[in-house]
Amino acid sequence: MSEREDKEELLMSMRYAMRARKVMVAMAITTGLVLTVASCGGGDDEKSKSSSASSPTDKGKEGDEKPKERESEAPTEGPVLAEVKGGENVTLTVNSAVRDEGGFVTVEGKVQNGSGSRWSAPGWQGGERELAGNSGSMAGASLVDKAGKKKYLVLRDTDGRCLCTQFSGGFRNGDEKTWYAQFPAPPASTTKVDFQIADMPPATIEISDGE
């Protein structure tokens, strides 16, 4: 082989080597761009994961507020003015007795049946003929002003229906129900009276003025 041919072969080898190096550099750059895009995509994924992870927490916070709202809307139980228990293990509680401007007193409370069986408030409608149609109700209740020596009966309409609670369906054992009864108002000077109904012991209660 001549010297000239040797030089040409050497030049060709150098050209192939340079082309190969360019191809490798181009591949390296392309690979680097793909990794960078994947990395950026991963960052977006991380952000979306982070956002989706924070969503339940935010919802949880909103969910925590709802029970508070529900608690604030729930009716609060008033103070106990008096509590008495009858022979059938029935408990009567008086929570309020409010004098209204209309000239009457509204008494409210609860009755709980602890008799061990079904109870229908027998005799609680009172013995008056006019109130006979008010069975299972607070119609027989009264307020007694011992100092003024007066007894105030439950108000009723022209048909004899009492302005009071009627316990529809009676009480199962353990049942507790709220009640109300309205009476003519004693004089303003009378602040304490005895609430009485059927065979329950008298319950001394204090009358407050309405707002």
pLDDT at residue 199 in the model: 92
String of DSSP letters for 73-104: HSPPP---SEEEE-TTSEEEEEEEEEE-TTSE
Higher pLDDT pick, 173 / 4 = 173
pLDDT at residue 46 in the model: 45
Indicate whether this model's pTM tops 0.75: no
Pick from 179, 194, 97, 181: nearest CA to 147:
194
Report the distance separating Cα 96 and Cα 19, nearest Å. 101
Strands 192-196, 208-209: pairing kind = unpaired
Question: What is the residue-averaged pLDDT of the chain?
Answer: 75
pLDDT of residue 170 exceeding 60, the answer is yes
Unique residue bearing structure tokens 């994947």: 38
CA of residue 81 relative to chain centroid, distance:
25
pLDDT digits (tens, 9 = 90+) for 9-40: 555 655 555 554 544 444 433 333 333 333 43
Domain spans, the chain: 1-74, 82-209
pLDDT digits (tens, 9 = 90+) for 59-117: 444 444 333 332 333 334 679 999 999 988 999 999 999 999 889 999 999 999 999 99
Q: The CATH number of 82-209 is which of 2.60.40, 2.40.160, 1.10.3470, 3.40.50?
A: 2.60.40
CA of residue 154 relative to chain centroid, distance:
33
User: Rounded to the nearest 5°, which phi and psi values hold at 133?
Assistant: -85, 10
pLDDT at residue 37 in the model: 35
